[in-house]
Chains A and B, each alone.
Chain A
Amino acid sequence: MYAGHFAAALAIKAKEPRAPSWALLAGVGFLDVLFGTFVMLGIEKVTMTPHVGHGFTLDLIDWSHSFVMSLVWAALFSVPFWRRGSAVAFAVAFAVFSHFLLDVPMHPPDMALWPHSTVHLGLGLWNRLPTGWWWVELAVIAVFCAYYLVRARTLKTFGGRALWACAVVLALHLFNSPWLSPGK
């Protein structure tokens, strides 16, 4: 999942408007920022498979994307926000952990319970629905953005350009489509 994570950040903002938007938006992508960094450092491994399946296989993502490490990264990422109150800190932590929750349906079983665990999670929609996953993610984006738009219009304390924010998320989703993605 890609753009769906950003949509989740907007929905969490709508639920807890006191949480800083940048922290939620950075938080939802934090596990993949770690993944990208770890791959470049050789700590985690990905194999590129052009024109096969999703275009890549994730051979080792235990340090960024396992269940336990996702909780650890969520807790660490939220530490600077505890002085803003527990509700804000929890929202930021949940933004980070939401990445794991939203990735489970999409990934094949490559998300370990903890680093080097033999138990792996993942429902594999990427492989089961070679193009259908994109529509599933679009539905997720639609639900999150609808909630964000309604709350922004009601509360008026965030979402100054809420419709544009949702349009950008939608554009990112189009960019990541099975037909346009540069990762293919």
Chain B
Amino acid sequence: MSSFGFGLFCLLGFTLPVPLLAWLDRERRRKD
């Protein structure tokens, strides 16, 4: 892996999981 690729890897590694984790953290609203 080149240093450029490593930079891109770090950038993606810290951005891609954010939407999923934020979604999992959302309050679950009850229908009752």
Interface residues of A (CB under 8 A from B): 2, 5-6, 9-10, 13, 21-22, 25-26, 28-30, 32-33, 35-40, 45-48, 50, 56, 156-162, 164-165, 168-169, 172, 182-183
Contacts and interface: CB of A to CB of B under 8 A. Distances in A.
Given A5-B14, A39-B4, 6 more contacts: A6-B21, A21-B25, A33-B15, A36-B7, A157-B27, A172-B17
A169 B22 CA distance: 12
Contacts of B22: 21-22, 25
A39 B3 contact: yes
A46 B25 contact: no
A56 B9 CA distance: 13
Contact of B14 (A33, A47, A160, A164): A33
B6 A48 contact: yes
Contacts of B4: 39-40
B3 A13 contact: no
A10 B6 CA distance: 26
B8 A160 contact: no
Interface residues of B, number: 25
Contacts of A40: 4, 7-8, 11
18 contacts: A10-B21, A22-B19, A25-B17, A28-B14, A29-B13, A32-B13, A33-B14, A36-B8, A36-B10, A37-B7, A37-B11, A39-B6, A39-B7, A45-B3, A159-B27, A161-B26, A162-B25, A182-B1
